[in-house]
Amino acid sequence: MVTNSLKNNRVIVTVDTENHVADVMLNRADKMNAVDLEMFEALGAAADTVAADKSVRAVVLRGGGGNFCAGIDLSVIGNSGLDFGKALMRPVEPSVANIFQRAAYAWRELPIPVICAIEGVAFGAGMQIALGADIRYASPDAKLSIMESKWGIIPDMGFTATLRHLVPPDRAKELAWSARILDSAQAQALGLITAVMADPVNAARQFAADCATRSPDAVRGIKTLVNVAWHQTEAEALALEARLQSGIIGGKNQIEAVMANLEKRKPDFTD
């Protein structure tokens, strides 16, 4: 286990790595994993920890204690000692995101798959953190909401970068303006989550484990391709496909994938 931040002698975000998969858990169960300043910092640090470990091929992002995240801890909004203007306008290098955005956007910045398991609630900041993941599995009884307007603020944790390809602009406005709470079926119908799973944590672990068995070069290339090409012209996207493929095909891991399939054995990839 890697400790990213301590609060009252407790690790508030844990990172456990096994078999090429990092399990990242929000660990303020008594607060329904609400995000305070320490957790904002710890989530960014957790992503840095994962990025520095080249053996990690996939991430499971989840909350402890039966909830994903109840949103921002109101102690952050009421913190008179925090210079919000400075914090909001200062990116956390080398990211383009500030400290608040990075808690969500860091998972998009990682070059490997991030699968989010949503149990209980994912409100406000919690929903935005989940949107930073590549895939979101939610339990049948989960509740989700882009809730910031309830507290008189806007969604500002990468909302504009992560939601733009999931829902059209009118839907994004409706969800943010209304702050309405969705059940899992509604969230899936709108495209906010990937699938409803009876056990989203186990489903996320299984999918992450499957990703970890595939060529790291191909898996990373697919994430780059989708994240970048969706913002490009068709000509730029086609060129990106060709450029990424030229760096993969004929490489050690690509050849190993072919040989393992032909020889009907488990591949042995290089990280």
- Answer whether residue 6 is part of any domain: yes
253: containing domain: 216-262
- Answer whether residue 164 is part of any domain: yes
Q: Is it the case that residue 7 has pLDDT exceeding 90?
A: no
Euclidean distance between CA atoms 245 and 217, whole angstroms: 10
Domain identity same for 197 and 224:
no
Confidence of residue 4 (pLDDT cuts 50, 70, 90): low
Q: Is it the case that residue 245 has pLDDT exceeding 80?
A: yes
Q: Is it the case that residue 80 has pLDDT exceeding 90?
A: no
Q: What is the mean pLDDT of residues 167-187?
A: 97
Strand-pairing partners, residue 10, are 7
Q: How far apart, in Å, are the Cα atoms of 125 and each of 12, 178, 253?
A: 16, 16, 38
> Nearest 5°: phi and psi at 84?
-65, -40
> Where are the alpha helices (H) located in 53-179, listed in sequence order?
74-77, 84-89, 99-109, 125-131, 159-162, 169-178
Q: Which of 212, 229, 245 is the last residue of a domain?
A: 212
In this predicted structure, what is the pLDDT of residue 264? Answer: 97
- Answer whether residue 270 is part of any domain: no
More confident residue, 93 or 160: 160
Q: How far apart, in Å, are the Cα atoms of 98 and each of 48, 150, 217, 253?
A: 14, 22, 29, 35
Instruction: Say if residue 94 is preceded by a cis peptide, omega within 30 of 0.
Output: yes
Q: How far apart, in Å, are the Cα atoms of 50 and each of 14, 130, 131?
A: 11, 17, 18
